[in-house]
Amino acid sequence: MSHVWFSNMKTEQAKTTLTDAGVPKVKDRECLVINPTRQEVKIKLQWLAFDVTKDAIRRAFYENGNVKEVTDDRWRVEDFEGVESTTCVIRMQLRAGVSVDQLTHQVRIGSSTALVVVPGRPPLCLRCRSKVHM
């Protein structure tokens, strides 16, 4: 039994009506409506140097869209709460025509090269530059 349904709408207006409807109920159960052409994404930057500012990160991703939020990732391990890590999370709205697959896998910001991790996108092998075997 599948709990995921895919549906194609004939018009853009029908899609907008369905996504703006909120949380519809099917068989007395609440359903989530998700637009697969998502434009807002959360990106993780790993291996980022500590001296890189949030403005530098915003400038690095300006071509891809509007960066809404940049937050530092902190440890949540007992006795190490609040310790800085070399990872930050970016929430951004992609420009029209830009997809998640078009985002770079590595970006040079300041004095470091950071790894760009996007949920749902296969990682890139840093040795052979292939996505096949990862």
Q: Tell whether 48 is covered by a domain.
A: yes
Write down the pLDDT at residue 134.
Answer: 62
Write down the pLDDT at residue 2.
Answer: 63
Top-confidence residue, 18 or 107: 107
Distance between first and last Cα of the chain: 30
Strand partners, 46: 115
Q: What is the DSSP letter of 7?
A: -
Q: Tell whether 20 is covered by a domain.
A: no
Write down the pLDDT at residue 66.
Answer: 93
Query: Could you tell me the CATH number of the domain that includes residue 80?
Result: 3.30.70.330
The domain of 85 spans 40-117
Spatial CA neighbour of 49 closest among 89, 90, 87: 87
Q: Tell whether 10 is covered by a domain.
A: no
Q: Tell whether 79 is covered by a domain.
A: yes
| Residue 38: how many other CB atoms lie within 10 Å | 12
**Per-residue pLDDT tens for 35-92?**
766 678 999 999 999 899 999 999 999 999 999 999 998 888 888 887 888 999 999 9
**Per-residue pLDDT tens for 107-129?**
999 888 999 999 888 888 888 88
Give the total number of structural domains in the chain.
1
Q: Tell whether 47 is covered by a domain.
A: yes
For the entire predicted model, the pTM comes to: 0.68
Sheet strands (E) in the chain: 25-26, 29-30, 40-46, 65-74, 84-94, 106-109, 112-117
**Per-residue pLDDT tens for 24-39?**
888 888 888 877 666 7
Spatial CA neighbour of 56 closest among 47, 67, 65, 46: 67
